[in-house]
Structure 1
Amino acid sequence: MEVQLGDLTKKEANLTILGGDIGVMYIIQDEILKSSSTQFAGVIARHPLTDELYMRVVSNNPLKDIIKATNTVIEGAAELKKLLVSKIKVK
């Protein structure tokens, strides 16, 4: 996966994500929207046949909010993995 920072202002960040998964980006978007300082967070796929995604975040500190949301999602996935491994025996 490759992330390119597009337009960046004090209140808005635009990212281009190449080789990413839109489902994962929706989870990050949902986490960003939980912040009271976020006015907008959106993710779109440029075209269904390409692997190019776009994310736009408008908030008081968009890059900080993206990083915080991504870390929260990673921690949640790690907890889920730990739970699954403890409950399911894989041969």
Structure 2
Amino acid sequence: PAIITLAVLDGTATIIGYYFGRIKVINGKTIEGSLAGMALCFIVLLPFLPAVVAMLVVFLAGMVELFSPLDDNLLIPVSVCIFLTLLGLG
């Protein structure tokens, strides 16, 4: 789920944010891109995780993606792995 989250959320957020994003937060990242990435990522994760866990993972990854000043390509999968491990699902 960590790599799927990175691929879907980050890729979608970048594309939607570039074309439709208006509210910029940090480093040019947009609220619209992050919300779109989170929505699609939630749908993609449903076959792999219970709905509540998928929602929590997506929220965590979305916040990391939106607010990380560093490279989120490293931070997203690591944070998802740590979170799932703490839940006993990793």
Could you say which structure has the larger radius of gyration? 1
- Normalised to the residue count of structure 2, the TM-score between the two structures is 0.38
Question: Which of the pair is proportionally richer in strand?
Answer: 1
- Normalised to the residue count of structure 1, the TM-score between the two structures is 0.38
